[in-house]
A and B are shown apart, each in its own frame.
Chain A
């Protein structure tokens, strides 16, 4: 008769114990409490409001301040550095408390920069296999193609009569000095030297052909096409450094995009559509 109520009481006690344990676990998980002393890589030397300063921090600071590892310092020197680290930690905590870290534009910029750099460093730390580079080269071969180049001679005259005279006589033309470098140039460089209109005329000429005198805002021009080098694919072995640089550049960008997508998925993002519409109408 007396054994019957004992079983539910035990069950209730056990349930309460489990609930209390679950509550404690949740509380510990949500708190900032970290068991620093259990870390073997970075044993704790001192804790400041539960923020640990470990051997690793001491070594970094020793290198920063003295250029040597903390092992080479005596106890007094080590303690001086630890005291400095405590002061810095107190100031950092004060900054966090005041919300400076989140509000100061300089700090915000440095934080964003640091996250971007860390993401890039993680990607760059991965070794690149030769096959990966070759596959990348084949996928983006257009990027590693030498564009068409053209070697031109362009002569500037102050009046039309002299330009016409040079156009009609080869000997007169060869006396002139070309305003372009002697090497073959890609189209974008020609546009930089000659501008759009003269480049378009040059591109329409055959090799060995000289244009008729062209009246331009700063004088009269004659253009002769000396040589045309067609667009050519460059072999992998020749452009390997450029392929590697491009692979890393695109990889860094992709790693950052991936990071941002992951952050967006975890975040609660709300947009004030009323203000967006208002701004669009202004």
Chain B
């Protein structure tokens, strides 16, 4: 019994490993994502982020308002390439952790999230208390570990 099931389980294991390797290779070479169709509301995609058609049209009309001559194909391409460059820079900023390490970015992010929270709790009487409650609520679901050598409060 054991000798009969052993080769079968090995075969299943090998098949699973092979399937995993194929899927991994396809994903690593972007074969799966690069064949995905872009939606009609997107002009381009940079990695997994889509650049909206509306944004492209807005940038084009801004250029048109500054230019005396009509917009050319070269202008259109330049606008699109600048939007792609901007998206690349933003992704680089996010990936390199600038949200935490760059004071200007950190401040803007905190201001934005706080503005969102304040809008949510605007109806309440004490906004400060509501904000403290919000942060306390985040703490209850967070995993906070103090270093062993630190005298914690």
Residues of A with Cβ closer than 8 Å to B? Answer: 19, 37, 43-51, 60, 64, 75-76, 79, 83, 86-96, 98, 100-102, 104, 106-108, 110-116, 118, 259-260, 263-264, 267-272, 275-276, 279-280
Complex contacts, B45 vs chain A, CB 8 Å? 268-270
20 additional contacts (CB under 8 A) given A90-B135, A101-B94: A43-B147, A45-B150, A47-B143, A47-B145, A48-B143, A50-B143, A95-B110, A95-B112, A101-B109, A102-B90, A104-B108, A107-B112, A110-B105, A260-B85, A264-B88, A269-B84, A275-B56, A276-B76, A279-B53, A280-B76
Number of interface residues of B (CB under 8 A): 60
Residue of B85, B113, B147 near A95 (CB, 8 A) is: B113
Q: Tell whether A275 pairs with B100 under 8 Å between CB atoms, given A47-B145, A110-B105.
A: no
A92 CA / B114 CA spacing, docked (Å): 10
Which residue of chain B lies nearest to A36 when distances are taken between CB atoms in the complex? Answer: B147
Q: Tell whether A46 pairs with B146 under 8 Å between CB atoms, given A91-B110, A270-B45.
A: yes
Q: Tell whether A275 pairs with B76 under 8 Å between CB atoms, given A46-B146, A83-B153.
A: no
Closest-CB distance, A126 to chain B (whole angstroms): 20
Which residue of chain A lies nearest to B85 when distances are taken between CB atoms in the complex? Answer: A260
The 0/1 profile, CB within 8 Å of A marked 1, for residues 75-102 of chain B is: 0100010001110111111101011101
Which residue of chain A lies nearest to B143 when distances are taken between CB atoms in the complex? Answer: A49
Which residue of chain A lies nearest to B137 when distances are taken between CB atoms in the complex? Answer: A90
Residue of B42, B44, B135, B152 near A91 (CB, 8 A) is: B135
The answer to whether B47 has its CB under 8 Å from any CB of chain A is yes
Which residue of chain A lies nearest to B102 when distances are taken between CB atoms in the complex? Answer: A114
Closest-CB distance, A122 to chain B (whole angstroms): 12
A271 and B90 form a contact (CB under 8 A):
no
The answer to whether B62 has its CB under 8 Å from any CB of chain A is no
Closest-CB distance, A148 to chain B (whole angstroms): 29
Complex contacts, A45 vs chain B, CB 8 Å? 146-147, 150
B112 and A104 form a contact (CB under 8 A):
yes
A92 and B109 form a contact (CB under 8 A):
yes
Q: Give the contacts of B98-153 with A (CB-CB under 8 A).
A: 98-100, 102-106, 108-110, 112-114, 116, 135, 138-139, 142-147, 149-153
Complex contacts, A272 vs chain B, CB 8 Å? 38, 40, 42-44, 53
A261 CA / B108 CA spacing, docked (Å): 28
Which residue of chain B lies nearest to A37 when distances are taken between CB atoms in the complex? Answer: B147
Q: Tell whether A271 pairs with B44 under 8 Å between CB atoms, given A95-B113, A107-B105.
A: yes
Residue of B76, B104, B144 near A47 (CB, 8 A) is: B144
A102 and B145 form a contact (CB under 8 A):
no
B34 and A270 form a contact (CB under 8 A):
yes
Residue of A96, A260, A268 near B33 (CB, 8 A) is: A268
B88 and A267 form a contact (CB under 8 A):
yes
Residues of B with Cβ closer than 8 Å to A? Answer: 17, 30, 33-34, 38, 40, 42-47, 49, 53, 56-57, 60, 73, 76, 80, 84-86, 88-94, 96, 98-100, 102-106, 108-110, 112-114, 116, 135, 138-139, 142-147, 149-153
Most buried by A among B40, B91, B116, B150: B150
Q: Tell whether A92 pairs with B98 under 8 Å between CB atoms, given A19-B17, A275-B40, A280-B73.
A: no
Complex contacts, A276 vs chain B, CB 8 Å? 43, 76, 80
A44 and B110 form a contact (CB under 8 A):
no
B151 and A75 form a contact (CB under 8 A):
yes
Complex contacts, A107 vs chain B, CB 8 Å? 105, 108-109, 112
Complex contacts, A259 vs chain B, CB 8 Å? 92
A35 CA / B100 CA spacing, docked (Å): 18
Residue of A64, A92, A279 near B56 (CB, 8 A) is: A279
A91 and B113 form a contact (CB under 8 A):
yes
Complex contacts, B96 vs chain A, CB 8 Å? 115
A268 and B112 form a contact (CB under 8 A):
no
B116 and A100 form a contact (CB under 8 A):
yes
A260 CA / B46 CA spacing, docked (Å): 13
